[in-house]
Structure formats: C-alpha cells, structure tokens
Structure 1
Amino acid sequence: MIAKLSGSLDSVGEDWIIIDVGGVGYLVFCSGRTLRVLPEVGGSVSLMIETHVREDHIHLFGFQSMAEKAWFTLLQTVQGVGAKVALGVLSIFSGEELTQIVAAADKTALTRVSGVGPKVAGRIVAELKDKVAKMDLGPVAFAGATDKGKKAAATDGGSAVAAGDAVSALVNLGYGRADAFGAVAAAARRLGPDATVEALITAGLKELAA
C-alpha cells in the first residue's frame, strides 16, 4: 500500500500528475486545489497518497496535506460520493469552507460541484454533520463563518473563541453538539466577527427553535 510519494514532477494533466520516483512514473489523481500548488514540471514534489485497489485497476490519489486526505476519506463515507466527486468537492472548497458548509447546512453551495445534485448535497450535509462537529476545528473554522473569513482568524481569534464558548454553553443546556455547532455557525455568519458570546448564544437558541 502506497502512503506517500516523493520525486520529481514529470507531467501534469487536467486532474492527474505523473511523479517520477527513481525512474518509475506513478500516475496520481489530484484535486484542483492540490494541482494549483504544485511546482513547475521537473520540480520536486511530495504528496500524501491514498491507494484504491479494485478488481480492474489500482488508482493513486494524491494530497498536499493530511487534512485534505482526511476530507477525501470522510466525503466518501457518504452514499453516492465516490472518489471522483470527492476530488471535485475538494477542488472547489477547502477543509475550513467544507466545515462551514456542513455546519450551516448550505446544500446550495455544494451543488456548485459537478456531479453533486440537491439529493447528494443533502446527504453530505446530513451524514457528515455529527462527524464534523466532533472534529478539532481550530479558530479558522468559526472565523470562516464571518464576513472577514480567514483574515479574521489570522488577525484576531476572539470571534472563534466566542463561538466555541457559545457552542459549549448550548451543549451544557442539553443540545447536541452537532446542532449547537450548526446554530452558532449560522449565528456567527449573520452577526459578524464582533459578536459576543451572549449574542451568539441568544441567536443560536433562536436558530435551534426555528
């Protein structure tokens, strides 16, 4: 089982690359996001690899980070989402953006991906909601729900801390973590990066009651 490849970039296609490792060329399928950060042909490249072995083929999928690889695996746990669709999702959305999409149940955003219709988008949101809520998301995840997005996460983690505290408060009130996470994410999107814990709790409760 191949878990990582390091070598020189031999060639690049629409959704694939060939990595030359000691004179052996490995065909690796990648998301558009990974393709965009690769060096020029001939440069050194190192990718995390997921190997799919089937009766009629062996496919290698490459990722710039363990986080992207983890999302690739997670997306494929959803009924109707195979490797091709998962790569399509990761070509458009980062992990932080996917976290917010799932938390806010934003099915419309997912339909931007080729091969993802309303039904599949609904399943992604529904089936991953609990799993995403249990992930260690860090400040960028909640900051992404605000208008300032990642810039806010980089310059001021206060909004993310407030959102995390609001989620904890709602969980302590008896709400499930997944529901609390989604409600606070939606509240943070509306109220902006300066929202206080109290404001997020109040708005989150209204979301849960809707």
Structure 2
Amino acid sequence: MIAKLSGRLDATGEDWAIVDCHGVGYLVHCSSRTLAALGPVGEACTIHTQLQVSENDMRLLGFAESAERDWFRLLTGVQGVGSKVALAILSALSPQELREACGRGDAAMVARSQGVGPKLAGRIVNELKDKTGAMPGGTGGAGGFAPGAAVAAAGGKGADAASALENLGFKPAVAAAAVARALEELGEGASESDLIRLALRKAAG
C-alpha cells in the first residue's frame, strides 16, 4: 500500500499532481484544496495518499492532511459517491466544515460542491451525521474514542491497515474503527501484520 509520498512537485493540473520521488513520478488525483497546499512546482512536498483499485482502473488519490483522507474514505462509503464526487466535496469544504455540515444535517452546504445535487447531499448528511464525532475535529464517542484520529496518529501503518480492510470489502468507517480498536489494544508499536489481523477480527465480529 502507498500511504504517503515525499518528493518534489513535478507538475500540476486541474485535479492532479505529479510527485517525483527519486526519479519516479507518481500521478496523484487531488482536491483543489490539496493542490493549493502543495506549494509551487519544483519545491519539496509531502502528500498523504489512498490507493483505489477497481475492476477497470487503479488510481492514487492525494490529500494535504490525513483528516482529508479520512473524510474521503467516509464519503466514498456513501452510495452514489465515487472518488470524483468525494474530491469535489473536499474541494468545496474543509474537513472541519464538512464535519459541521453533517453534524447539523446541513445538506444545502454540501450541495454547494460541484456535481452534488440536493438528493445526494441529503443522503450524505443523513448517513454521516452520526459518524461525525468519530472524525478528526469531532467530539468523539464515549470516552472520546475517535477512530479517524487514532488511525491518522498511527501514520502509514494505520492507513495501510485500514486500506487492507477496505480492499476486503469493509466500509471505510468500519475499517477505521476496527483499526483504531486494534491500535488501542496492541499499542502503536505493533507490527502492521499484527494490526491487520486483529483489526480484521474486530471488523468481522
């Protein structure tokens, strides 16, 4: 799994960037917010990533911060929200604004995103309104438990474990919660393989 890239920003486009890592150029699809945060072409940059694999395509999605990636995973778990729509939403709203919109059930705010109609915006806030506290910037559940933040804190290892569960068919929110519980039990010093095994048992249970 590719969880993060650090290199030189080689080129950018409307919704993509190429990051040169030791002579290898990675094409990364990004929100406009992430593109703006990467800085000028030719300078060093770091970008969090999510590898998305489908039957006919494989693409790398890039995010300026891990919170944005956590929200991307949550958004794409909603029926009708693909990677293009999720990036459009993250271009229009910051993770904090998105959390607040979902928490308030403010579909109109989400509908400001390009390509998101009122019906889809309503579905997004209805499905995610009870999950906003588990995301970065949220208040957390009982005891302050915050899966997204816990996974982000673990760095690439946590992100890779969550991606592994998603590739097995678990929804992003379920995968993040399972990995967070596994991290809580094993500690951040656990190996990636042990983390994936325990997270898989917790997600399946």
Q: TM-score, normalised by structure 2?
A: 0.65
Tell me, yes or no, if structure 1 residue 29 matches structure 2 residue 20: no
Tell me which amino acid in the other structure corresponds to 1:130.
D
Could you tell me whether the CA contact under 8 Å between 2:103 and 2:130 is conserved in 1? no
Question: What is the one-letter code of the residue matched to 1:68?
Answer: E
CA deviation profile, 1:100-136 (whole Å, cap 9, x unmatched): 1111111111111112111100110110011113446
Q: Which residue of 1 aligns with 2:38?
A: 38
Secondary structure, aligned partner of 1:130 = coil
Matched residue, 2:85: 85
SS at match of 2:125: helix
Aligned-partner SS, 1:102? helix
Amino-acid identity (%):
53
Look up the equivalent residue of 2:78 and give its one-letter code: V
Query: Secondary structure at 1:112's aligned position in 2?
Result: coil
Two-structure CA RMSD over aligned residues (Å): 1.4
1:136–1:90 Cα change, 3 Å: closer
Instruction: Name the amino acid aligned to 1:19.
Output: V
Aligned partner of 1:53 in structure 2 is 53
Write the distance in 2 (CA, Å) between the matches of 1:119 and 1:51.
Answer: 28
Listed one character per residue, the Cα deviations across residues 11-44 of structure 1 (whole Å, up to 9, x for unaligned) are 0100000011111111000111111111211100
Instruction: State the structure with more CA Rg.
Output: 1
Residue of structure 1 equivalent to 2:7: 7
TM-score, normalization by structure 1? 0.63
Task: Give the secondary-structure state (helix, strand or coil) at the position aligned to 1:61.
Answer: strand
Partner of 1:159: none
Q: 1:69 to 1:134 in 2, by over 3 A?
A: closer
Q: How many residues align?
A: 139
Distance 2:79 2:123 in 1: 7
Describe the SS at the equivalent of 2:130: helix
Q: Which amino acid aligns with 1:83?
A: S
